[in-house]
Amino acid sequence: MKRIILFVGCYLIMLSAIGQELSLSLNHIALSVKDVNATAQFYSSILGLQEITNRTKSEGIRWFSLQDGKELHLVSTIKEPVTINKAVHIALTTSNMDALIKKLVANNITYSDWPGTLNKVTVRADGILQIYFQDNNGYWIEVNSVAGDKNEEAMAKKDIAAMLDTLNATAGRAHFDAYFRLYANDAVFIGTDATEHWDKQAFMKFAKPYFDKGKAWNFTALTRNIYLDKSGSWGWFDELLNTQMKICRGSGVVVKVGNEWKIKQYVLSMTIPNGLVDSIIKLKAPEEDMLMKKILKKCTNFIKIKMIH
């Protein structure tokens, strides 16, 4: 019995060990070079890498630090030819791209963007700057700028602008589901009429007949301002819109839900040229005077009830 228990115990331990996932992390990058001393000079003087102890103690090998415990090993002991192309490269990060470019130019080292245009900087989709150049062996080196607040803010504003453009486009094409997918579940829509203050469900109910007829509203942005909170999780906007009501102003609050920006509050208002204000007031006064009386009456009754309780 003891042997069986021991066998089962060993078997379970073995299964547990096999089931553990491998835990791998980058230790170093090694480059095969022709002249280790000339290459070491390049990485130390041009890129400012700090040389560290070569713990192999072998001749023809020199080590450099890539920070955070990562290393670059230059190896000249293997003489076999190496085929190099741009896709095989080292990628580094700098907090001062301008200073690096000036140093490359001063040392007659050409740089390019990813397609290969000389003296041009790639601007990645996320706003990161990139340049590419070669060391004295022909190895390609990519250097990226640090992801900073300005890059992240610019990308967020770009995403919000794209969402607002999609909002206008889907309404113009009467795509009901696509349009309302851009609103947060607890969104509020405030329309041009004083009575139009709807949660998402109420707004959907109002809009459905128009979308079903294929004749929803068709807005196009004329101007747009987008602002972000420091947290980067919410923002607000205002824009002038070309509409069937002539110029309107759309404004509101946007929030990030997962990886998507959605409308939290949208306010649509008609603009009135200052010179026409008096005449517009005369046109809407009768109807809105009645509306204000109803609102004030509700407020008075509400206050009375609160006082009784």
Same domain as 242, residue 143: no
Among 137, 107, 131, smallest CA distance to 40 is for: 137
CB 132 within 8 A of CB 144: no
Task: Report pLDDT for 304.
Answer: 59
Average pLDDT over residues 251-273: 96
- Cα separations in angstroms, 15 against 11, 22, 227: 6, 14, 55
Same domain as 158, residue 126: no
Same domain as 226, residue 180: yes
Looking at the domain assignment, is residue 76 inside a domain? Answer: yes
Answer with the one of 115, 147, 179 that is the final residue of a domain: 147
Local confidence band at 154 (pLDDT 50, 70, 90 cut-offs): confident
Same domain as 57, residue 83: yes
pTM of the entire predicted model:
0.54
CB 121 within 8 A of CB 113: yes
Looking at the domain assignment, is residue 19 inside a domain? Answer: no
Looking at the domain assignment, is residue 2 inside a domain? Answer: no
Lowest mean per-residue pLDDT among 13-17, 81-85, 212-216, 295-299: 13-17
Residues β-bridged to residue 65: 71
For the chain, what is the domain count? 2
Same domain as 169, residue 141: no
Residue 12 neighbours by CB under 8 Å, 6+ apart: none
Range of the domain at 46: 27-147
Task: Report pLDDT for 95.
Answer: 85
Looking at the domain assignment, is residue 20 inside a domain? Answer: no
Looking at the domain assignment, is residue 204 inside a domain? Answer: yes
Give the domain CATH number at 221: 3.10.450.50
Average pLDDT over residues 29-46: 95
Give the domain CATH number at 70: 3.10.180.10
Same domain as 129, residue 180: no
Same domain as 48, residue 134: yes
